[in-house]
Structure 1
Amino acid sequence: MSSGDSVIATNSKQSAIPVNWLITGLLMILAALASKFLFHSGWLTSFGVACMAWLAFENGGNDISKSVATLISGGVTNYRIAILTGSVATLIGGITSAWLGRQMVKLFSSGLLDVTKFPSSIALATLVGAILWVALATRISMPVSTTHAITGAITGAGIISLGFNHIKWGALNSKVVIPLLASPVISIIVAYILWNIIMRLPEGHYLRSVHFLSSMFATFARAVNDTPKIVALGFFITSTTGLNASTITPLFFITAIAMALGSYVKGLPVTRLLAEKLTKMDDREAFGANITTAFLVSTASKLGLPVSTTHVISSAIIGFGLKKGSGGVSWRVIRDMVLSWGVTLPVAGIIAAILYFIIRG
């Protein structure tokens, strides 16, 4: 780590809580004001859009690490440049998803619960439940899946408020659970197969440039896949107050900006965890992991399927690490990551269920 990065890390530890909370508060206020201006809406919509921006902010802080960590572990650049350029790629990907991610918005806003109109209490409980878990995970440097958090929150609030019979279990399994479970396995297999091709690439400045571009491509793809899920929760709120689908484009822009800001402000701790503690990678291995991630996540986005970038890129890194032998991967870190993924669904669901009772009351 360079001296500049050390200063960043030290300063972030000393002032992380007040600075992060200040930026989060300002972001929510700006999002609420934007909602008032764009939608001429009441307090409920304004608060919901502000919460949507908060979730995007936390998502950026937790997920930026997944695609730029290889730049650090491969020695391509330092933390400052990796997170800054990754934040820019996140912004571009988030805005692009306004044209590519409509199918996924429909899935998360109306495809999982069997109800004609969502009560505002369910929408708010889902939003805040997902936010609190992702925020907590980011605070303790735990890489988690925002997709899992959103799915768990929707399911938990839905079961408590509507009952088991109003959950579209078939759609949940086929369009969310199966892609989430299959994507890490496919990622490991693809990375394992790519090893023989990637390792034939010559080392040098050319490879480092390609590695950097592949990281930005993976970051872009992650934003394209994640933004619609968060926008769907914002649309949850706007739809409960009578606003229609024409309001959805501004939600994409608000989410993209908040996600990029969160990536830059809060991205360091989880990035350090993946860059330094999972497995050491050279340019060829990191390039392979990024290409695997970008390909799988982009394909999933095109098909309207939600996947976890956390799962995909971590599994790709594991796939390349396995080629070095069992000693090429930190199994303790992997165990902790798998545990965090496993608890995300139920914990986010429980939080959302509790919040439903509070909000309803």
Structure 2
Amino acid sequence: MVITLVFVIFTALVFEYINGFHDSANAIATVVSTKVLTARAAILYAGVLNMVGAFFGTHVASTIGKGIVETASVTQGVIICALMAAITWNLITWYYGIPSSSSHALIGGLIGAGISKSGLEVVQIEGVCQKVLIPMITSPFLGFGLGFCFMVAILWLFSKANPSTVNRHFKKLQLVSSGIMALSHGTNDAQKTMGIITLALVSFNVLPSFEVPLWVILLCALTMGFGTMAGGWRIIRTMGSKMIKLKPVHGFAAETTAAVVILGASHFGIPVSTTHIISTSIMGVGSTKGVHAVKWGIIGNIVMAWVFTIPICMLLAIIIYCILPL
């Protein structure tokens, strides 16, 4: 029924909006905590660049739509359950201020709902391993390592400079790095919902093959942008101040590192967690101040959320599929 397709698209856009405000911290937490921009200005800045980033290719959308579960086995019901599981987990982690991964929530939901419908054989093991599990493990280490090395290089280059002068210059540079970070967030996260909506259109035989329509890109870009502008303040506080006290030079290093990793992943169609990458980049940068500068107890809670996101969302999707009359 057409009404079912409309409901799927609506639910997907709800997820995209929640993804925007849930992950707004990824783009603006550092620039707000360093007082380079006011919260309102940072949100508007990030929201616009999130929209722009959404138009930078559809490689990640293709991975979500074709590389996680077998397209032929996906029904509207499977997509609804996947989205509802991801939305539920996002709201729970938002409420407790935990920067978990919206990407992994959606992937876990899709796998769980797919298994409920067609069994384990529906999961594309190679695609999940290469595009989800391996990057899930390696990208945080990459963010941490590159963040640490980049910050060490900056400290070495400016070792003889006046600290106040350095921070004044890096306040200007952080405007650029936060913009690139927001852009990179749009290139990866906005595409995930594009993939889900296109998958629904293929499942409903509206599209003959998996190719993301322009109207879907535009719709997801706008929804992501407005969601980002709503701002998830609980998570912004966790990432911007609770993990480590940041100065403009640290914000610049963390944002630049994270943006490079995310843009690279988007180019290769890898749906990485922007939350994982910016969080570990902040940790890597902060570690140059000494191990005691990083609040490891808070980070431990974040890591637990990372570990459990996919399995919990799989379980949520299975439960929802069993409950709903699909």
TM-score, normalised relative to structure 1: 0.83
Q: Is the 8 A contact 1:277 1:333 kept in 2?
A: yes
**Does the 8 Å contact 2:99/2:235 carry over to 1?**
yes
| Contact 2:75-2:203 at 8 Å conserved across structures | yes
Of 206, 211, 215, 2:174 maps to 211
Matches within 5 A, 1:83-232: 83-94=43-54, 96-97=55-56, 100-101=57-58, 103-114=59-70, 116-199=72-155, 200-201=157-158, 203-232=166-195
- Structure 2 partner of 1:284: 249
Structure 2 residue 275 is the aligned partner of structure 1 residue 306:
no
- Residue 241 (str. 1) matches residue 197 (str. 2): no
Structure 1 CA distance, aligned partners of 2:240 and 2:65?
A: 34
Amino acid at match of 2:314: G
Worse overlay, 250-259 or 56-65: 250-259
Contact residue 79 and residue 268 of structure 1 kept, 8 A: no
Deviations 1:12-51 (A, max 9, x none): xxxxxxxxxxxxxxxxxxxxxxxxxxxxx82111111111
Worse overlay, 205-214 or 280-289: 205-214
Relative to structure 1, the CA distance from residue 70 to residue 177 in structure 2 (aligned partners, 3 Å threshold; closer, same or farther) is same
CA distance in 2, matches of 1:62, 1:105: 20
Q: 1:58 touches 1:138 (CA, 8 Å); kept in 2?
A: no
Per-residue CA distance 1:83-137 (angstroms, 9 max, x = gap): 221112112212x23xx12x22222112222352522211211122112211222
Change (3 A) 1:109 1:282: same
CA, structure 1 residues 310+115, in 2 after alignment: closer, same or farther (shift >3 Å)? closer
Runs (5+) with no aligned partner, structure 2: 159-164
Kept after mapping to 1: 8 A contact 2:71/2:203: no
Query: Does structure 2 conserve the Cα–Cα contact (< 8 Å) formed by 1:126 and 1:233?
Result: no
1:316, CA displacement in angstroms?
Answer: 0.7
Structure-2 change in CA distance of 1:307 and 1:359 (3 Å): same
- 2:63 corresponds to which letter in structure 1? L
- Does structure 1 conserve the Cα–Cα contact (< 8 Å) formed by 2:26 and 2:278? yes
8 Å Cα contact 1:83/1:268 also seen in 2? no
Amino acid at match of 2:235: V
Q: How far apart are 1:304 and its partner, in Å?
A: 1.0
| Conserved 8 A contact 1:45-1:237 | yes
Deviation per residue, 1:190-233 (Å, 9 max, x gap): 11111232223451543211111101111110111111111111
- Report what 2:30 is aligned to: 70
After TM superposition, the score normalised by the length of structure 2 is: 0.92
- Structure of higher RCO (CA pairs closer than 8 Å, 6+ residues apart): 2
Query: Identical aligned pairs, as a percentage?
Result: 25
The 10-residue stretch of structure 1 (195-204 or 334-343) with the greater mean CA deviation from structure 2: 195-204
- Deviation of 1:274 (Å): 1.2
Alignment coverage as a number of residue pairs: 317
